Amino acid sequence: MASYHASPRYDWSDRREPGSGASVKILALFLGIAVGILAVLAVVLVKTADDARDEAKAAASTTGYADHGAVPADGAVSLPLQSFAGKTAPNAEELAMAHAPAAAALPPIPAGEIARVHMTLKDMVVEIAPGVKYNTWAFDGHGAPGPIVHVREGQTVEMTLTNGGAIPHSIDFHAARIAPDVAFRDVAPGESFTFRFVANDPGVYMYHCGTKPVLAHIANGMYGAIVVSPAKPLPKVDKEYVLVASEWYLNSDGVEQAASLDLAKARAMQPDWTTFNGYANQYVTHPLTSKPGDTVRFWVVAAGPTLDTDFHVVGTIFDRAWVNGDMTQFQQGVQTVGVPAGGGAVFDVKIDEPGMYPFVSHAFAHVDLGQVGLLKVGNPKGKGSH
């Protein structure tokens, strides 16, 4: 303040109107105080911004986020980000037809008391939409999702993870009650690790790599579903399908060259593609099937990494919905059920009339981005409505 009054630049006393000297001085004093306060505020704000940037840098280096994708070390990313949604190779239809759809049928339960599961991790390029290639970190050479694991309640799962990739990975089973720091530990490249758990809780669960940064590992395809069938059998059905919903964040369109993760988009939750079982619209081109009068069971996991899936089958109503994978009770006559990222649910539909019945995430941006398929009941004429 003192220096302000000392400055002749701001001394208006020579330019005062006659008789207004006192009021001009008071005004000048107030202005002086205001400018002083603003100057102090500006210094504080700059300091706070610097601190925040330093903290972001420190966080980036401790989580390793800075090593994955396009987030600068200071965390400053402008929105919106460039989207590659819907950008396929020019001959998309032909490629979609030629693509072998991921097997959605629930596999049988292995015999015996111990279900031995061995997965080898591989870094591999997979297609996630027609002509769209992506660099995944994949469980067992499946791309994403990894293989469907099916066990029965009470069975022991003996899981062996072999890391054939370039960096440490791990596997976290949501179906397990086990110390995660022991069982879900990082496995170094070239190493194998075995752990066991008893699958005492029936339902459908996610499994995924839990190595930091988890967002990057899941976004790169490290997830899958484990179904634990209840010891007391569920109502009998004719067909059982497993759907793993997920979203993809690309740093290029993936057409000329395989895309990799855009971590800024993953953080901003702006996917380029969303899928069931890892490939956009694959069950539109190659529908799942049932016969008129059949009851079909969907075991659904939302892998995320971040977004939920609002599961709905167009043209029918769920006869039974085991919401949140709680197998102790089901709801009846429900239309849409939210499956949270990292969660699962089970749905039965009995469909009598032949036709094309789309199954979707009813958060419809997901349908545009590829999270839609068809259940073909009987041999209907024509195509689906969605």
Site residues (CB under 5 A) for Cu ion?
169, 209, 211, 217, 222
Residues 6+ apart with CB under 8 A from 308: 302, 338, 339, 340, 341, 361, 363
Tell me whether residue 341 or residue 377 sits nearer to Cu ion (CB atom). 341
Shortest distance, position 272 Cβ to Cu ion, whole Å:
21
The token pair at 251 is 């740093």
The token pair at 281 is 């619209």
Tell me whether residue 216 or residue 375 sits nearer to Cu ion (CB atom). 216
Shortest distance, position 168 Cβ to Cu ion, whole Å:
7
Shortest distance, position 82 Cβ to Cu ion, whole Å:
26
Shortest distance, position 184 Cβ to Cu ion, whole Å:
11
The answer to whether 249 touches 346, Cβ cutoff 8 Å, is: no
C-alpha 369/C-alpha 386 separation (Å) is 13
C-alpha 376/C-alpha 386 separation (Å) is 13
The answer to whether 202 touches 229, Cβ cutoff 8 Å, is: yes
Tell me whether residue 211 or residue 260 sits nearer to Cu ion (CB atom). 211
Shortest distance, position 217 Cβ to Cu ion, whole Å:
3
Tell me whether residue 121 or residue 259 sits nearer to Cu ion (CB atom). 121
Tell me whether residue 144 or residue 374 sits nearer to Cu ion (CB atom). 144
Sheet strand arrangement including 336-339: 288-290, 372-377, 355-361, 309-313, 336-339
Burial of 226 (0-12, 13-18, 19+ CB in 10 A): buried
Q: Closest residue (Cβ) to Cu ion? A: 209
Four-residue CA torsion sign, 101, 105, 110, 114: positive
Shortest distance, position 169 Cβ to Cu ion, whole Å:
3
Tell me whether residue 169 or residue 320 sits nearer to Cu ion (CB atom). 169
